[in-house]
Structure 1
């Protein structure tokens, strides 16, 4: 009579989709610490991408915003429903430039629209795009820009966690500049 050893049940890693066992899972549903930090870093990076003040490629600030006092908005006769959603006036920083973007319709109409937009001096025309090649042209500047970006977003309440510099630098060094991993480590290192 032979005894069979039960095989541990495997699950799918929430980040990479690879197999994980419950007993060795990290953070509840990840196969490794790296996947956990990359997942958390990706969530924070999506916040950077959606914030029109920052370039998602090089992390430089391309716009600033300021909201005038409520009394000033009222004196300008701005209706209440607009004041409620009004973020502020924006100004370009020294990193902003004009870029030409092209919108080509794929609906069969073969329309092509060219327009100018606020772009980044790193070469990213759409500040929401992430271009690894452009990011790696000046990695020292990118490292500093990302650090400034994380701190600024934490100060204004966009990111709910304060970045930790030692964890950030260590993650960049250990991962050969995996930016997403470094963001996750900077914000969630224990």
Structure 2
């Protein structure tokens, strides 16, 4: 797969998100725009970085709409090149079958994906998801509670996202304009 890599940012209540996109689709999303995140993505893809703001416009607009509560599903092309075959199978299943406002347990996702992997391995796949939010690993929960989350500042971000989507009830002090 040849091509180029372009970066763009979206300012959200959770901070400035960094999106990496190839000609194929979204390849990465980081909760912080840092030189290290850009360098890791460029190295992992092996692609030259170009300035292509038009390529990223749909993804950045979709993220802004999601955080405004106006977008219930990301209909963006995805470039899976940074995933293994098992990761791709699990993450594709998640992306295609767990809609906004719904959750699934790690074990249920393992069963649904047809990979035969244990819930703990599903948790590792979620933790290594290169495209969080767009591929909604925050919607995967433990059978006994929220489970973990490696995006942003951790499990409180997961709780905030699930509250935004209506999967869990808001506390009296919850505010869509305030980060966890």
Interval of TM-score (by shorter of Structure 1 and Structure 2): under 0.3
TM superposition score normalised by structure 1: 0.22
Which one has a bigger Cα radius of gyration? 1
TM superposition score normalised by structure 2: 0.23
